Amino acid sequence: MSSTARLSRIALGATLFLVGVGGFTRGSGSGYGCADRWPLCEDGLLGGLLPRAEYHMVVEWTHRWVAAIVGLLVLATAISVWRNHRRRAALVRTAVAAVVVVGVQAWIGRMVVKADLDADLVVLHLAISMVVVGLLTLVAVATSPDREPAEANASWSTHLAVAAGGSYVLLLLGAYVHNMFFSGWPLVGNELVPDLSNSYTAVHFTHRLVAGLGLVYLVYLTRAAGRNGRPPIERRLLHAATGLYAVNVALGAVHVFTEMSWSGVVATHLLVAGMVWTCLLAATALSRQTPVPAS
């Protein structure tokens, strides 16, 4: 495996870890642990460079520094792509785009803190973080030595793209209603169709409906991949996505039954959703590409 491929995978793994840390930060109520000071902590040690020994401040401080490390890894990945694959213009643009989006993400993170954790900005923050994950996934796929040639099939690639896009939308729907508790599972309020006049109820109902349909669709794609003789790497990614998706459905139930009281469940639920998005996007990218010699 080339140094660029290895570095891109490390950056991708670190970014997914950051997503989990962000989920824990939000779920534990630590998002305002450093007050409205950014990037340092209000009244922290060494002028705010280090946190005080307070739970919420330590959690938020950890979130910020993990984010800083991720930023450096993304930058290092882009530099490695430029040095080793500069003739592959699309790959270079993708790596550079990841750096730019990380910069935007940092700015949005600052706005989230300054706006006292405005819910819409929090969702935007997550949406952009998943764009970073997506771009790094594309870089990892493009530099991976595991790519296998496959017969071009635009229809199959479209099916995979729909699954990947659906997982992204589902993730954002869940983030939007994260702090709104609705009893009952899998039905919202134990009603087949709840009162949808409330926007949060409507979004939550949509989230669960899309989640159910998504699981059925992934099972279909997994079986179809085997019947159509798709490359083993694609089939493995689909199996992983389907398994992780099923786990996340169960985590969603735990989230409801515990009345959103476990921040660890919140973090894991979000992390697994990010992994599903990663697997499906990687499968989509692989289905559209043929191996390119390293340059």
CB atoms within 10 A of CB 112: 22
User: Residue 260 — very low, low, confident or very high, per pLDDT cuts 50/70/90?
Assistant: low
Residue 185: is its pLDDT beyond 90?
A: no
User: Residue 116 — very low, low, confident or very high, per pLDDT cuts 50/70/90?
Assistant: low
Which pLDDT belongs to residue 229? 86
Q: Tell me if the pTM is above 0.85.
A: yes
Give the pair of three-digit tokens for residue 51. Answer: 């946190």
pLDDT tens digits along 11-27: 999 999 999 998 888 87
DSSP string, the chain: --HHHHHHHHHHHHHHHHHHHHHHHHHTT-TTTTTT--SS-TT-BGGGTB--S-HHHHHHHHHHHHHHHHHHHHHHHHHHHHHHHTT-HHHHHHHHHHHHHHHHHHHHHHHHHHTTS-HHHHHHHHHHHHHHHHHHHHHHHHH-TT-------HHHHHHHHHHHHHHHHHHHHHHHTTT----SSSSBTTBSS--TTSHHHHHHHHHHHHHHHHHHHHHHHHHHHHHTT--HHHHHHHHHHHHHHHHHHHHHHHHHHTTT--HHHHHHHHHHHHHHHHHHHHHHHHHH-------
Which pLDDT belongs to residue 291? 46
Domain ranges of the chain: 1-145, 149-295
Residue 294: is its pLDDT beyond 60?
A: no
User: Residue 40 — very low, low, confident or very high, per pLDDT cuts 50/70/90?
Assistant: confident
pLDDT tens digits along 78-115: 999 999 998 999 999 999 999 999 999 888 888 877 77
Place of tokens 């973080």: 129
pLDDT tens digits along 195-246: 888 777 888 888 889 999 999 999 999 999 999 888 999 999 999 999 999 9
Which pLDDT belongs to residue 295? 42
Highest mean pLDDT (candidates 187-196, 202-211, 269-278):
269-278
In this predicted model, which residue has the larger pLDDT, 264 or 227?
227
Question: Looking at this protein, which amino acid is placed at residue 293?
Answer: P
Question: Looking at this protein, which amino acid is placed at residue 69?
Answer: I
Which pLDDT belongs to residue 195? 80
Q: Using CB atoms within 10 Å of the CB of residue 174, give its burial: 0 to 12 exposed, 13 to 18 middle, 19+ buried.
A: buried
Mean pLDDT of the chain: 86
Residue 252: is its pLDDT beyond 50?
A: yes
Which pLDDT belongs to residue 167? 95
pLDDT tens digits along 142-167: 998 766 656 667 899 999 999 999 99
